[in-house]
Structure 1
């Protein structure tokens, strides 16, 4: 019997040895995905980035505090086979925007969806960019910055404290534009390399020349809530009220996404990541969610991606958060 256990152990070890861990962002992993006959294509999105930077991209803490869940009536809505918020609300430019979080963990799914919803509910009259800078630096309970944060806490902060406006890096748009520079994911690019930097300080001040005082520039949420993980509930929420924030587990192969409908093929878990879902559809018979990432427009499909819908792929349907703007 002892020999039997030894042979079992050796065969188990040989299986482990036979499948070495593929290097992060490697050409081998790209080949594994592209040769696996899956629903998406892989390619190089990052070059010359260190592991701490990659980890910082995935700084969303999952399974945290939950907001009260809201259920929508789906009957009579006539949900279409495909839906894209960019086409539904063309007078809201933020829906089409891709941001770059730089080297700081994301608050982006939240401020993007808040910006979109404010524009949608005011029928395009209030089209502003809600400031990621203000949220990242001033929401202490959010735990953003370098250590990650809970998606729900960003929405609670919006309803309790409000968030000022602020555009992209160096845009001089709004009260508090983003101060973390976009970094270079590619070879021979013009931006600085991607490294993990310190979180900026909470200033509670608008930039010089902005005509409104910080306190007066705050945009508030009236209500923040969780959305049920049932796909029809998420679809009803999107269809009626606009984009939502979602959080999911990022595996190494997701960093290599280029096109198609993502589902996990290979690689280790890197942590949680918060993004914005703005629609749904089907591609070659595979149902998907349409989402906006915050890793710059040169990542993935011009900054956007599709992820498999209906089977809680990587937890994408488990942590949907949204809210109603106060107008």
Structure 2
């Protein structure tokens, strides 16, 4: 086992050195996260989907706003108390479920639907529906719209440690009643840069993007895929956008914990279709 770990560590160090020597890299790589987090495990979904046309998203009402979006925007600056919790999926790469439940938590805080920040339960979706290796963009929103979701304190995210699905909870872990909240509506946001900007100003935007091996080395800067194999589609929240050193970016909240990237956030190149992040997204209404 130690020999295997040693080989893995050496391979990571070689990949890191390769990234360091790529000229013109717009982001800074690091070994800190990739050596301490079970992030590089591949999806167990046999379809190995790079992009799936999602019939549920297609069926939603389209988001449309006549307003002009500002040149830059950042929910972490506008509502820092609503952006402070970063879900860590750990051994359970339920990225879409985690990102969309997190988006509901953040949106309810932004809209003052809860008296203080409340984190809602990823575990409930893992157990009742999607497990650790399933779910498309919008699946978690659809579940929450139909069935609702309890709080994290009611049904804690235990699968992030075990990687296993449990039995769907009908009461809180402490035996109390399972009270749930639901979004009131969902809107489809077309994968057009200007529309996405307008949507983000309304609230965190749920999206997916292509997840490659080099993402695990991301530390800071504006990410563009540079090296490594495709692994899966990853769910995330776009919480802002801007420009840095002449390069436009989306500010993205990633369900990998605060140890990833810039304290749980990253910047991804904007307006270029990078990693297909500018595909259809979902804006929740609470």
Bin of the TM-score, shorter chain as denominator length: 0.7 to 0.9
1:5-28 C-alpha deviation (Å, 9 max, x unpaired): xxxxxxxxxxxxxxxxx9996223
Q: Partners in 2 of 1:201 and 1:114 — Cα distance?
A: 23
**Which residue of 2 is the match for residue 27 of structure 1?**
13
Higher radius of gyration, 1 or 2: 1
In the superposition, relative to structure 1, how do residues 135 and 109 fare at CA in structure 2: closer, same or farther (>3 Å)?
same
User: What TM-score, normalized to structure 1?
Assistant: 0.75
Q: Partners in 1 of 2:175 and 2:147 — Cα distance?
A: 24
In the superposition, relative to structure 1, how do residues 236 and 311 fare at CA in structure 2: closer, same or farther (>3 Å)?
same
State which of 168, 172, 176 in structure 1 corresponds to 2:155: 176
Do residues 313 (structure 1) and 274 (structure 2) align?
Answer: yes
The question of whether the paired residues in 1 share the 8 Å contact of 2:37 and 2:90 is answered with no
Trace 1:242-321 onto structure 2 (pairs within 5 A). 242-321=203-282
1:163-188 C-alpha deviation (Å, 9 max, x unpaired): 1111xxxxxxx321211355xxxxxx
Q: Partners in 1 of 2:45 and 2:21 — Cα distance?
A: 26
1:72-131 C-alpha deviation (Å, 9 max, x unpaired): 2244x3x222211122224xx342221111211321110111111112223663632121
Q: How many pairs align?
A: 270
The question of whether the paired residues in 1 share the 8 Å contact of 2:121 and 2:150 is answered with yes
* Structure 2, unpaired ranges of 5+: 1-7
State which of 81, 84, 88 in structure 1 corresponds to 2:74: 84
Do residues 202 (structure 1) and 168 (structure 2) align?
Answer: yes
Please state how far the C-alpha of 1:222 moved relative to its aligned partner.
Answer: 1.3
The question of whether the paired residues in 2 share the 8 Å contact of 1:30 and 1:42 is answered with yes
* Structure 1, unpaired ranges of 5+: 1-21, 167-173, 183-195
The question of whether the paired residues in 1 share the 8 Å contact of 2:61 and 2:186 is answered with no
Q: Partners in 2 of 1:239 and 1:98 — Cα distance?
A: 20
State which of 235, 238, 243 in structure 1 corresponds to 2:200: 238
Alignment RMSD? 2.7
**Which residue of 2 is the match for residue 38 of structure 1?**
25
User: What TM-score, normalized to structure 2?
Assistant: 0.85
